Amino acid sequence: MSDEDKKREDLAEGTLMSHLLELRDRLMKAMLALLITFIPCAIYANELFTLIAEPLLAKLPEGTTLIATSVVSPFMTPFKVAFFVGLFLAMPVVIYQIWAFVAPGLYKREKRFAVPLLVSSVVLFYVGVVFAYIVVFPLMFTYLVGTAPEGVKYIPDMTSYLDFVLTMFFAFGIAFEVPVAVVLLVLTGMVQVESMSKHRGYVIIGIFVVAAILTPPDAISQCIMAIPMYLLYEGGLVMARVMQKMRRESAAEAEKEEAKAS
């Protein structure tokens, strides 16, 4: 092996090691942020569980409560709530650490578009979770509690309830990412805005199918998810057109600068 090849190999190893060290530091900072948010959540774990269970507790028949069918459920279920609430609160820091690790490898123009998309995705996920808690759960649990057959006492298990709620939070958080998905599809050139606008009918059908899969089998819950998803889809088309225009203007500016430099 020549000296030049050896230098290249040493440089590659040094670069890889520096990336691994930076990744370790970013992961440590993300874990520290999660720990900081988790500790107070763990202290008030029972209160947090009561808060999350409130939409169902408010709809249960008088004198009915949630039950624990496992020996460790009264401890583990609130602990699980504390972890996910802590993760929810720490997510901006976690996302920032991921962005800080990836950003140096992006071009200036890519960063210009990536930052608003990243911020929008985080905000929209939070909005989806809050929307599910404030709007969807009261209507959904009113329907579910009211459908219990005569002679059946509706007494949900606290662990099953939490699993259901976390699934719905995740489903609505992902559903509210529709504008970001639309923009990414357009900016990557996989789909044209005109084509997505032209085939709205197919999109509406697909949205209702997804809503039917993710929500309980009642028309109210399906519509509550499907209608916002469609409105967000239209909003994504508007955002895609704006960002396409910005990209064209940015490319034109870059061409002018290259022409001046030459």
The shares of helix, strand and coil residues in the chain, as percent rounded to the nearest 5, are 85, 0, 15
Ranges 76-90, 91-105, 163-177: which has the least confidence = 91-105
Instruction: Name the packing angle between helices 108-131 and 73-102 (round to 10°).
Output: 160
Judged by average pLDDT, the poorest of 86-95, 172-181, 243-252 is: 243-252
Q: What is the mean pLDDT of residues 116-133?
A: 88
Report helix angle 73-102 to 158-175, nearest 10: 20
pLDDT of residue 34: 93
* pLDDT at residue 127, rounded to an integer: 92
| Rg, Å, the chain Cα set | 24
Cα–Cα distances in angstroms (integers) from residue 46 to residues 32, 52, 81, 204, 219, in the given order: 23, 10, 9, 41, 33
Q: How confident is the model at residue 159 (pLDDT cuts 50, 70, 90)?
A: very high
In angstroms, how far is the first alpha carbon of the chain from the final one?
40
Burial group, residue 137, by CB count within 10 angstroms (0-12, 13-18, 19+): buried
Q: How far apart are CA 63 and CA 193, in angstroms?
A: 54
For position 4, what pLDDT does the model report?
A: 57
So what's the pLDDT on residue 251? Answer: 65
The pLDDT value recorded for residue 85 is 94
What is the percentage of the chain residues whose pLDDT exceeds 90? 28
Alpha carbons 116 and 108: distance in angstroms, whole number: 14
Distance CA 232, CA 221 (A): 17
Given this model, what pLDDT does residue 17 score?
74
Per-residue pLDDT tens digits for 15-65: 667 777 888 888 999 999 999 999 999 999 999 999 999 999 998 888 888
Q: Under DSSP, is residue 157 helix (H, G, I), strand (E, B) or coil? A: strand
Q: Whole-number mean pLDDT of the chain?
A: 82
Quick check: helix, strand or coil at residue 215?
A: coil
pLDDT winner (highest mean) among 29-33, 111-115, 184-188: 29-33
Distance CA 134, CA 125 (A): 14
Backbone region of residue 153 per phi and psi (left: phi > 0; alpha: psi in -120 to 50; beta: other values): beta
